[in-house]
Each structure stands twice: as C-alpha cells, then as structure tokens.
A = this chain, B = another copy of it.
Amino acid sequence: MRIDFRHLRTIKAIHDTGGLARAADQLNMTQSALSHQIKGIEDQAGVALFARRTKPLRLSAAGEKLLAAAEDILPRMAALEADFAGLVSGKAGRMHIAIECHACFEWLFPVLEQFRKAWPEVDVDIRPGLAFDALPALRREEVDLVVSSDPEDLSETDFTPLFDYEPVFVASAQNPLAAKSVIEAEDFRDQTLITYPVDRARLDVFSQLLTPAKVEPAALRQVELTAVILLLVASNRGVAVLPDWVVSQIKYNADYVTRPLTKSGKTRRLFAATRAEDTQRPFVAHLIRLARQEAVRMQRA
C-alpha cells in the first residue's frame, strides 16, 4: 500500500477531530476502515504513526511528519481542483496566440491588455517563432488562435474576419518613385526594400506582387520594429510596403509619402483562426469581438 491522498485526508481528519470514530464520521467511512488504513501505512512505511499506549489516539513523531506533509499537499491539491473547476466553468483557460502578420503586434497589444482585465484567469501569451506552421500548430493545440491573412479550407478550423486592409507603398518624399501615382513590381528593381524579419511567403509585398512578377529588389533590409522601418523610409534609406492602417497610425514623420500598388491594390483581409470547438467559448469569442472593435477604432484614426 503506497501512501495516498486518502491517507493524508485521514491523518488530518484524525488529528482535527481527535479520534478515529469522529474522523470516520467526517470522512463518511467506518471507524474500522480508518483503523485498517493507518495500519496499512504503518506496515508499509515501517513507522508508527500514533502512540498506541493512550486511548484517544495521539500522533507519534512520524505521524507529525505525515500530518505536516498533508497540510502542505492538501491545499495544493485543492488549488488544482479549483483550476479545473475554472477550466470547466469557462472562466479560465489558455489563449496562446500566433501571428503570421508581423505588423499585427501594433494592434494586438491594446486588445490583449483589455482582454487580460476581462479574463484574469485566462493564461494569455503570444508565441513567437510560429510565423510558419501556425495553422498546424493550432490544430495540435500548441496555440489557440492564429492571426492570418491566408484562410485555408480546413475542417475543424474556423476563420473569423477581423478587418480589411490594403498594402501600400511607402517611400521618402525625396525618392524618385514619389513622383509616380501608382507603384508597380518593376519599380522595386533598383530599390532597397525594408521588411519585417520573416519569411517572404508571409510578406504581402512578395506573396502578392514581387514573387508573381519575378522581380527581385536591389537590396533587402530586415527590421523588427514598424516605427524604425518608417524612420528609415523617411530618411530615404529604402522603401517599404505596409498595411495602410500601420502607416496612418504611426506619424512620427511626415517626410514619407504613400502610394497604392497596382497589382495588390485589392483589399486584403485579416482573420482570426481558431479550432471550431473553441470558437464559441466565451473568452475566445470575446477576444475576437475586442479585436474587431479595436480594428474599427484604428481605421478611424
């Protein structure tokens, strides 16, 4: 007989009530069961848990140690059960997010800030390094929501539209291309293109424009932060293609101009991908609602 939670509860009840019979009552068992139980542990561990000389049972040194362990462990177990209860009731859960679209950090943070306040028991995180296989990771429950602009027709996966945007060309006012009213793929041939440090397939400018047109820019430069990209563009160190809302949001410098792109002039749409089973869960639906609201607020800006 291995020591077990049952035994911890037993020793605690005996100590609390001061007797086998009362403890048995509290635990809804017979006195005999408890007697057998403690005999079991004593045999197994080879120590006496109680001083048997006296009639109301008293803890021995070993018994005190077991009791101490019980008082450590039982509350920890209660906490676990509370966790589970939270999970079942829907108040708690996990919301680990993968974003394929790098610029999306910009609007995601305020959304998550609101969300955290509304669902304090939900474990929120953004998982980096999944820009690639984010949808398989969603299916595998490695993450719980993927922000993506390339919906696939997967059963078990829902794509909820968040908002529409348009990739726009950004360049310094000094750049010769500023003179053109519309930018085409060929225009990139002699430019330094500044992008986020992610795979080409995940960048609208490549997937929508340059790759189909088989155009390679003169140089590439990868920059992490949107503000820094715009700074570099403004000082004519290169050109970029960013979602329209990013450009209108961040106005550190008026020295750059924006121009539509021919081929990808068409509107793109951003989606929240979730597992079908989760889409209706209260906190998942709420996060998506918050994200759409934030998008509206942002478009107005």
Interface: A216 (CB within 8 A)? no
Contact of A80 among B3, B6, B142, B156 (CB under 8 A): B3
Evaluate contact between A80 and B58: CB separation under 8 angstroms: no
- Main SS class of interface, A: helix
User: When each residue 65-100 of chain A gets 1 if its CB lies under 8 Å from chain B and 0 otherwise, what string results?
Assistant: 110010011001101110110011000011000000
8 Å CB interface, A124-155 against B: 139-142
8 Å CB interface, A6-61 against B: 6, 45-47, 51, 53-54, 58, 60-61
Interface: A2 (CB within 8 A)? yes
Interface: A223 (CB within 8 A)? no
Evaluate contact between A73 and B84: CB separation under 8 angstroms: no
Evaluate contact between B4 and A87: CB separation under 8 angstroms: no
Interface: A106 (CB within 8 A)? no
Cβ distance A47 to chain B, nearest Cβ, rounded Å = 5
Give A52's nearest chain B residue, CB to CB. B141
**A83 proximity list for chain B (CB < 8 A):** 62, 65
| Distance of A60 Cα from B277 Cα, bound (Å) | 14
Cβ distance A180 to chain B, nearest Cβ, rounded Å = 49
| Distance of A80 Cα from B141 Cα, bound (Å) | 36
Interface-central residue, A72, A76, A84, by most chain B CB under 10 Å? A84
Known A-B contacts A80-B65, A87-B47; the reply to A142 vs B58 at CB < 8 A is yes
Evaluate contact between B141 and A53: CB separation under 8 angstroms: yes
> What 9 A-B pairs come out closest when comparing CB atoms?
A51-B141, A61-B94, A69-B80, A45-B84, A46-B88, A54-B140, A65-B83, A47-B87, A62-B87
A and B contact pairs by CB, cutoff 8 A, 9 listed: A5-B5, A45-B81, A46-B84, A46-B88, A51-B141, A53-B156, A54-B141, A60-B141, A61-B123
